[in-house]
Structure 1
């Protein structure tokens, strides 16, 4: 029996085994019962094994033999694998694009470092990443999903919690030595403060003033002096360059701390009400690309 005929016969055998009926299998396979019977007989002759026998009574007179019953699970698993392989071949010709919007600093410091793992996990989806930092209209600009930083409430969008930052002073290791080494908060008087003003409109966003007040040191330094930078990644890069002390955010500084570009000279971490959320339009919640993207992000964040 040639390979295509053999495969057709195995498919007929599996269908008859589920239906216990040549007629039911024929309807599923869009052939005649006679054609199904011919395939079964040909398979039995080729393998020299009986696959079905007739029961003396009951609603279905067709019964699997013990030999046939033993191989059905493996046969069904094999067809599942074949089906998956075929779907992969189809998908390889038409990759599904997912357009996502990600805050620029978060993209640079956290998200883009992990994108390769998404592609390994979902090779048939292709990410198109927008990092312009503006809040976009998902429907008008055809954005599928995104990450937003805030309180978790945006009109017409579903928001799922992803990560929450803590805030603490960070600086270049170079500032730990020299004429005025950074060892205590009092030493801030001798160094520039780097202010991240990217969330100036959010009153709960931590600032040097709020961190010093929270630490019980509200009068320690002039909180208005220093460098004002409206980009979180640029503010941290300025700290890495040794030009001052910034308030680091957990997700944005984890790699710089691990690789020694930044250090925590002193002080505890202040929490914040704002957090990162995965967002998408409410009506797309069950779509496979959205589910895949969201579940991957949650796994990356270590929530489960």
Structure 2
């Protein structure tokens, strides 16, 4: 009797182990910045679902720096320099800082490519947006293109909470955004680049797909990595086209 029970428990344990392994093979845990998740990734990930209906995709949209090895995440999409030892990274694309606003805001303040002064125009200032030393703020952007701005007093300020995209979409002011996050809103016509796409400043960091070095990947995880890389490549080409041609003309 005891041997039969032991045998039965062994079979149950084997079945549970197989189910856990099968579930793990379909599971992909990804962490990525909140604004990037909302404005870029979520809009594109249905394509991966359509190709892989069995996937158990677990997304963590957080600006907290996740320890992939300790917290059990398979991938991170990060806007970062080259990662530290123990992590592998695949470059996805760089970013470009551009001023954006709603078409109604641009009309109200008569913004156009020929404008040489932003005096009196509400500017949204983002503080501690990113540690990237080459990310342009209003002072550096205006210096590159020799455009006058008012001293940063009595302006709308956001501190490390978002890309500022919502402030632009709600017409609160002119916002310097990364084109990676503003792209879909620009292409839909919800936002525009009032001074033309040529007035962009490239950033220093890259968006990268990060994973733990030496950790085996399941077939589905490898397919996810390929999908991210392919999607990022197509996006980078689209951004290049946008910066060379104004779609609003």
TM-score by length of 1: 0.63
In structure 1, C-alpha distance between the alignment counterparts of 2:153 and 2:80, rounded to whole Å: 24
**1:295 has 2:226 as partner:** yes
1:272 pairs with 2:235: no
- Tell me, in whole angstroms, the C-alpha distance in 1 between the residues paired with 2:37 and 2:130: 20
Q: Is the 8 A contact 1:119 1:126 kept in 2?
A: no
Superposition map of 1:131-280 within 5 A: 131-178=61-108, 180-183=109-112, 184-217=114-147, 219-223=148-152, 226-229=155-158, 230-233=160-163, 235-267=164-196, 268-280=199-211
> Matches of 1:290 and 1:154 in 2, distance apart?
22
1:160 is displaced (CA, Å) by 0.7
Asked if the contact 2:185–2:191 (Cα under 8 Å) also holds between the matched residues in 1, the reply is yes
Is the 8 Å Cα contact of residues 87 and 212 (structure 2) preserved in structure 1?
yes
Q: For each residue in 1:37-84, what CA deviation from the matched residue of structure 2 results, as whole angstroms up to 9, or x when unmatched? A: xxxxxxxxxxxxxxxxxxxxxxxxxxxxxxxxxxxxxxxxxxxxxxxx
Displacement after TM superposition at 1:242 (Å): 1.0
Other-structure match for 1:19: none
Gaps of 5+ in 1: 1-89
Q: What is the CA deviation profile of residues 223-281 of structure 1, one whole-angstrom value per residue up to 9, with x for unaligned ones?
A: 46522222334x11111111100012221111111111111110511111111000000
Unaligned 5+ segments in structure 2 are 1-18, 238-249
Structure-2-length-normalised TM-score: 0.76
Describe the shift of the 1:293–1:147 C-alpha distance in structure 2 as closer, same or farther (beyond 3 A).
same
> Residue 41 of structure 1 corresponds to which residue in structure 2?
none
Count of residue pairs brought into register by the alignment: 211
Q: Separation in 2 of the partners of 1:123 and 1:154?
A: 34
Shift, 1:118, TM fit: 1.0
SS in structure 1 opposite 2:227?
A: helix
* C-alpha separation in 2, matches of 1:245 and 1:231: 17
The whole-number CA distance in structure 1 between the counterparts of 2:187 and 2:117 is 24
Alpha carbons of structure 1 residues 198 and 109: separation in structure 2 relative to 1, 3 Å: farther
Q: CA deviation at 1:199?
A: 3.0
Answer with 1 or 2: which has the greater Rg: 1
* Per-residue deviation, 1:177: 2.3
SS state of the match for residue 225, structure 2?
Answer: helix
Instruction: Give how far 1:201 is off.
Output: 3.3
Q: Structure 2: how far apart are the matches of 1:301 and 1:224?
A: 38
